[in-house]
Amino acid sequence: MLINERDTRHERLILVANEMMTAARTAPKGKGIDIIEVLMVTGETIVQLSKAMIEYSQKTGMKFITRDANNILHAEAVILIGTKQKTQSLNCGYCGFDTCAEKLTYPDVPCAINTVDVGIAIGSACSTASDHRVDSRVMFSVGRVAQEQYMMPGCSSIYGIPISGSTKNPFFDRVFTPPQAEPVK
């Protein structure tokens, strides 16, 4: 039997994406409280997310989001990692308030510990991609639009990690191209 790498690439990358989600889930969490949410976006949903990113870019004037919207069309999957908000009762002051009770009067201000947990989960997920020699890039823009689209209800501090197994990492050395929102294959 002969199996061409190109014929099995998508399935192998989905397996890596699943391992990335496990790595994000098992990453250390502040006080051991797990409020991280992790999703995998594939296929037509990547195209829909790309279109939403282009619209958001045009609405906000942030042109780099259009670049990233076109860029994720090269991905086999996009991992989204975000957090629910829950103060940790540490009164650490990292959020800018002296106590967690004081911070609660400003519910839109994220708990710093929750945000750090997202960063640790992202690092674990990206490390897993790297262990498998899969190309990835952490993108604020993807997560911001996913949050706008309520892809992860109740979550904030969402980031996206597109992955690819192509000859050259499509997520680096990027240039701005006009909006397209059609998969590049």
Amino acid 180: pLDDT: 63
27 Cβ contact partners less than 8 Å away, ≥ 6 residues apart: 36, 117, 120, 121, 123, 124, 125
Instruction: Write down the pTM of the prediction.
Output: 0.90
- Reported confidence tier of residue 9, pLDDT bands at 50, 70, 90: very high
Amino acid 97: pLDDT: 93
Report the alpha-carbon distance of residue 26 to residue 59 in Å, rounded: 37
- The arrangement of secondary structure in 7-83+114-164, i.e. its CATH architecture, is 3-Layer(aba) Sandwich (3.40)
Q: What is residue 109's three-state secondary structure?
A: coil
Report the alpha-carbon distance of residue 174 to residue 165 in Å, rounded: 16
**Over 70: is that where the pLDDT of 72 sits?**
yes
**Over 80: is that where the pLDDT of 36 sits?**
yes
Beta carbons of 143 and 149 less than 8 angstroms apart: no
The residues spanned by each domain of the chain are 7-83+114-164
Amino acid 185: pLDDT: 53
Provide mean pLDDT across the span 31-49: 95
